[in-house]
C-alpha cells in the first residue's frame, strides 16, 4: 500500500488524494448575500447532511489554497447569517461549474452563469429557480479550523424552509432518484451523474470566463441550446481570433451550410443552433463559437 503522512507532502497534493478518495460528494450550490444586498452563488462539495431533527447541513468554504484568502461565500455567511443551498442536477452542471469561477466580490454569479435568482421567503439570499430542491437555511455557527490555505470553515446551517419541484416526486410523493437527476463531485475533473455514471467537466478557467451574460441574445434565448451548452460557451476567456474565424468562414462545407437556408432565417437559426449543440456535445467549443459568430454576421 502507498502510505502518506499528510505533513510530508504538499497540501495541494494531499488535497488531490483526499478528493479522489472521499467521493462521490454531493454539491451544495450556495447562494449568499452581503449586508449591502450583493449576491453570490458558488458550489461546495465539502458538504453533507448531519441530522434531520433539527435538519442540519454543513458545508465548508476553505481558505484559498494559493493565499489563504477568505472566499466570498464565507465572508457573506459571516455578514448575513443566512444562505440557500440549492441541489445541482445534470442539466445545471456546466453553468454550476462556471459559477465556481473566482469572480471578484461584487460580481453576481447568477448573472455570469445565467441562472435565475428568485426571492426566498424566510431568508435574504435568493434561490436558484432552475434547481429542483432549494433549502432556505439559517447559519447557526461557523467553525474556523486553521489559518493556512486549504483550512476548513465549517458553516453549520439549519434548514428553515425546503422547496421541492413537484416534477421530481414519484406517485407516492417521494423524491424519485431518476427525476431529481443529481450530480456529485469526485477528484480532478470527474463528476458522476447518479443515474448514469462518470463524466468530466474541465475546471473553469483560472482566467475569468466571459460569462453567459456576454453571449449574443439569440444564443442566450435559444430554444435549442441547453443550459449546459450556454455554460460551456460562457466559460471561454475570449472569442476566436479574427484570422481563425475567417479561415473557418471560408471553408467550403461552412459556405454550403449557410447557402442552403440563406432565404429562410428562422430555419437557418434552428439549424445553426442544432449544429452548435452537436459540436458542444463533442466538446468542440471553438468550432461551436465560430459557427455562432459566422451566423451573427448573416
Site for ligand FMN contains 231 (CB under 6 A): no
Among 26, 34, 39, 42, binds ligand FMN (CB under 6 A): 42
Q: Which residue, 125 or 222, is less far from ligand FMN as judged by CB?
A: 125
Site for ligand FMN contains 44 (CB under 6 A): yes
Site for ligand FMN contains 60 (CB under 6 A): yes
Which part of the chain contacts ligand FMN (CB under 6 A), choosing from 97-105, 124-132, 216-224, 285-293? Answer: 97-105
Site for ligand FMN contains 112 (CB under 6 A): no
Among 72, 95, 235, 269, binds ligand FMN (CB under 6 A): 72
Among 24, 26, 46, 232, binds ligand FMN (CB under 6 A): 46
CB of 60 to ligand FMN, least distance (A): 5
Chain positions 147 to 186 lying near ligand FMN, rule: CB under 6 A, are: 185
User: If DSSP states are collapsed to H, E and C, what string results for the chain?
Assistant: CCCCCHHHCCHHHHHHHHHHHCCCEECEEEEEECCCCCEEEEEECCEEEEEECCEEEEECCCCCCCCCCCCHHHHHHHHCCEEEEEECEHHHHHHHHHHCCCCCCCCCHHHHHCCCEECCCCCCCCEECCCCEEEEEEEEEEEECCCCCCCCEEEEEEEEEEEECHHHECCCCCECHHHHCEEEECCCCEEEECCCEEEECCCCCCCCCCCHHHCCHHHHCCCCCCHHHHHHHHCCCCCCCHHHHHHHHCCHHHHHHHHHCCCCHHHHHHHHHHHHHHHHHCCCHHHHHHHHHHHHCC
Site for ligand FMN contains 61 (CB under 6 A): yes
Site for ligand FMN contains 45 (CB under 6 A): yes
Give the residues lining the site for ligand FMN (CB under 6 A).
27, 40, 42-46, 60-62, 71-73, 97, 100, 102, 185
Amino acid at each position: 500500500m502507498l502510505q502518506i503522512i499528510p505533513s510530508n507532502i504538499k497540501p495541494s497534493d494531499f488535497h488531490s488524494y483526499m478528493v479522489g478518495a472521499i467521493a462521490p460528494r454531493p454539491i451544495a450550490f450556495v447562494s449568499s448575500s452581503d449586508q449591502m444586498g450583493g449576491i453570490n452563488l458558488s458550489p461546495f462539495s465539502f458538504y453533507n447532511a448531519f441530522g434531520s431533527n433539527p435538519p442540519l447541513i454543513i458545508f465548508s468554504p476553505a481558505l484559498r489554497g494559493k493565499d489563504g484568502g477568505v472566499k466570498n461565500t464565507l465572508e457573506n455567511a459571516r455578514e448575513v447569517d443566512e444562505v440557500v443551498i440549492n441541489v445541482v442536477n445534470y442539466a445545471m452542471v456546466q453553468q454550476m461549474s462556471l459559477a465556481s469561477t473566482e469572480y471578484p466580490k461584487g460580481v453576481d454569479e447568477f448573472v455570469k452563469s445565467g441562472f435565475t435568482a428568485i426571492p426566498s421567503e424566510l431568508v435574504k439570499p435568493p434561490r436558484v429557480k432552475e434547481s429542483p430542491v432549494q433549502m432556505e437555511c439559517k447559519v447557526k455557527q461557523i467553525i474556523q479550523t486553521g489559518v493556512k490555505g486549504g483550512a476548513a470553515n465549517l458553516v453549520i446551517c439549519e434548514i428553515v424552509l425546503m422547496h421541492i419541484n413537484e416534477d421530481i416526486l414519484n406517485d407516492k410523493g417521494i423524491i424519485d432518484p431518476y427525476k431529481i437527476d443529481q450530480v456529485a463531485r469526485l477528484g480532478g475533473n470527474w463528476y458522476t451523474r447518479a443515474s448514469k455514471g462518470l463524466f468530466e467537466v474541465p475546471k473553469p478557467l483560472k482566467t475569468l470566463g466571459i460569462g453567459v451574460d456576454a453571449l449574443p441574445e439569440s444564443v442566450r434565448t435559444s430554444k435549442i441550446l441547453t443550459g449546459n451548452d450556454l455554460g460551456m460557451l460562457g466559460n471561454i476567456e475570449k472569442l476566436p481570433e479574427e484570422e481563425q474565424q475567417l479561415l473557418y468562414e471560408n471553408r467550403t462545407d461552412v459556405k454550403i451550410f449557410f447557402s442552403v437556408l440563406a432565404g429562410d432565417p428562422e430555419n437557418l437559426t434552428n439549424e445553426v443552433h442544432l449544429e452548435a449543440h452537436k459540436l458542444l456535445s463533442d466538446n468542440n467549443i471553438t468550432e461551436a463559437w465560430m459557427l455562432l459568430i459566422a451566423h451573427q454576421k448573416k
